[in-house]
A and B are shown apart, each in its own frame.
Chain A
Amino acid sequence: MIAGISIYEIFTLTSILFFIGIYGFITRKNLISILISLELILNASAINFVVINKYLYPDVLQGVFFSIFIIAVAAAETALAVAIIINLYRQISSVEVKDTEIMKY
């Protein structure tokens, strides 16, 4: 519970963060930027877990633990994604999204 800040303000913040992430995911042309946008989405949801835990169920800790899991999973996922991107770069010498359109009809 943070004095002077209501849950709605924090939700507004996380929503903005989330949609910035979505926007970035859809519009960025570089795979690395897309990965960064993805991190924003994950962070928004991690904050939500902590906040909801703190404001609604202050006597338990599951939400907090879950956010720690999310951080761990995000780290793993990032490592994987970067590995894929590096391999992709070796194949086509580019990390642009438009160069990865070969898997279509």
Chain B
Amino acid sequence: MDISYILFIPLIPLAVFLLLGIGYQKIQPSVSGYIGVAGMATSAALSYYAAYQYFFASGKVDGVYQTFVEKTVWMNFTDTLHIDMGILVDPISIMMLVVVTTISLMVHIYSRGYMDGDKGYTKFFAFLSLFSFSMLGLVLATNLFQIYIFWELVGVSSYLLIGYYYTKTSAVAAAKKAFIVTRFADFGFLIGILIVGYYAGTFDFETLNAVNAEGEGLLLNWASTSFMGLSVITWGLILIFMGGAGKSAMFPLHIWLPDAMEGPTPVSALIHAATMVVAGVYLVARLFPMYYFVEGGYALNIVAYVGGFSSLFAAVIALTQTDIKRVLAFSTMSQIGYMMLALGVSSYKGHEGVGYMASMFHLFTHAMFKALLFLGAGSVIHAVHSNYLKDMGGLRKYMPITNITFLIAALAIAGVPPFAGFWSKDEILVAAFEKNQLLYFVVLFVAGLTAFYMFRLYFGIFWGKDTKYHHPPHESPMSMAFPLLFLALMSMVAGFIPFSKFVTADKVGFEAHLNLPLAAVAVGTGLTGIIIAWIFYKKENDLAEKFANAFGMFYKWTYHKFYFDEIYMFVTKKIIFNLVSAPIAKFDKKYVDGTMEGIGNKTVIISEKIKGLQSGRLQDYAMFFVSGVVVVALVFIYLWT
């Protein structure tokens, strides 16, 4: 299979970025929007073609999906250890290409309406293209180092886009926070890469993930060296997962995601819901054979529990938030927790690898309906100019398209058949049920919570109290409505894609069955959540408030996100800044700087004192010269022996 044209999928957005970035002053906003959309549409078309070619035409040899790699050596260290640049094509990278280009295209189209009249319109599209390029490069990376490079690039573009409204203090703070927190996590990632590179002798995904005929990892026995009872490779994998957890906002590195909602809403939909935040999931999936085979999957267990806990934690917080974008942010975190959990409970071969498949499936469907939710929320915010639930209500009369599409997305995420979320969530439930009952109940409980908070949001925005608006809200323009409709369609049909035939851990494909009892329980839980939300929020009443008061303390804790921001602030400001950084800064100022400044000052003072020697009088100089000669002569005559 010829894969060289796939190289153009990331390069087109790069070209668009350079064009818009360099011609920022000269290109008219109306033109730049079209350039961005056209570039992304080309990329999307290419990736659809690539997907068709790979999955249906020439990707399969003897029933196994092959991995195609094209690369050149970029930096040489030793014969085996070198950093390559190239593209890697296998089921998950093709799937991610489709997800990223689709969502990115929709967001580009949507942004033309949403950002209309904004001063930095061209800049916005340039940044979007930069992000698309970085994300596509990340997806196609052939080795750990290449993925790391693009990993940082998506971090930068995320930073730029969160801080897009740079005159707003909160946006600037949020951008910094997101960058620093993910950067901190990436530090772990880098150490992990170096450990794996050092002990395995290669960064290459193909070599690292090689599996022999018995279905065991070829590099099982690297590194007998152990550290604190675990092999160093396991430590490396845990550290790599730390990087993934930072990007994917897993507990306890989640604090940046809610704040990242300061960015424009299309950005939240693209970066903080559908693509960048699932990079962590993608990373674990990319190294899945390693995670699974090294030391009996110890690192993978950590992935599962971190994912499970994050999904529960975020779902609980999402119940009480009043900023609609923050509810969606926590919901994203919760759903990514699902994906991590599904990866964590997965096995490698055949039907036992259902977790892996479920994770990728959920990534795919979640990208569609979560992007739709965000774009819908953006449409609402566009209409009422507020992020808060208290300013909304009864909007169904004003915004029929947004209402319907938002409802579809909410049904999809709540796991109501036949919408997309139901199918992928069902697979996750099956995977968790087969491997770990405790995690199964977590998933089930979170499914109920998800349905509840999502419909709290839905009823709160579109039903509930009849708010009086100063300007009657209006339906969004066509450029914004079209992506909503397209994604709504995807949210309805994406679940029917037979994912288990295409994307599996061992790349063979299997027949997935709907597990009816489990599905029934899940749907029951979801419907319960929806019904409770119906009772609480459909009509304006004080039931919800009474309920909240009954919980009292717990409600308050949840509302404040369990005070995690405050804890981090305390640790950084009070402990690290005051006890560590301040004394070091003082030492630096006083002694290091002091020495250098002292040398300089003393030189100046001494020079000031002796400058009179240069009097400009010729005879003074002659005097010094003669006396010098006399002294030298005396020394030579009397003292030289």
Contact = CB atoms under 8 A, between A and B. Distances in A.
A97 B626 contact: no
A85 B614 CA distance: 22
Contacts of A104: 614-617
Nearest to B619: A26
Contacts of A105: 611-612, 614, 616
A87 interface: no
A77 to B, nearest CB: 15
Question: How extensive is the interface on chain B, given as a class?
Answer: 10 to 19
A22 B617 contact: no
A102 B622 contact: no
Contacts of B616: 100-105
A46 to B, nearest CB: 19
Interface string B238-253: 0000000000000000
Contacts, number: 29
B623 to A, nearest CB: 5
Interface string B603-621: 0000000011011111100
A97 B614 contact: no
Interface of chain B: mostly helix, strand, loop or mixed: helix
A29 B59 CA distance: 103
Interface of chain A: mostly helix, strand, loop or mixed: helix
Residue among A22, A100, A105 with the most chain B CB within 10 A? Answer: A105
A13 B626 CA distance: 20
Interface in A4-57: 22, 25-27, 34
B615 A26 contact: no
A25 B617 contact: no
B619 A97 contact: yes
Nearest to B623: A26
A101 B619 contact: no
Contacts of A100: 616, 618
A15 to B, nearest CB: 12
B623 A101 contact: no
A25 B622 CA distance: 8
A34 B618 CA distance: 10
A39 B611 CA distance: 32
Contacts of A98: 617
B621 to A, nearest CB: 10
A80 B622 CA distance: 19
A84 to B, nearest CB: 12
Contact of B626 (A22, A34, A103): A22
A34 B626 CA distance: 15
A102 B618 CA distance: 11
16 contacts: A25-B622, A26-B619, A26-B623, A34-B618, A34-B619, A97-B617, A97-B619, A98-B617, A100-B618, A101-B616, A101-B617, A102-B616, A104-B614, A104-B616, A105-B614, A105-B616
In the A-B complex, the 4 residue pairs with the smallest Cβ-Cβ separation, listed nearest first, are A104-B616, A101-B616, A105-B611, A103-B616
Given A26-B619, A34-B618, 13 more contacts: A26-B626, A34-B619, A97-B619, A98-B617, A100-B616, A101-B615, A101-B617, A102-B616, A103-B616, A104-B614, A104-B615, A104-B616, A105-B614
Interface of B: 611-612, 614-619, 622-623, 626
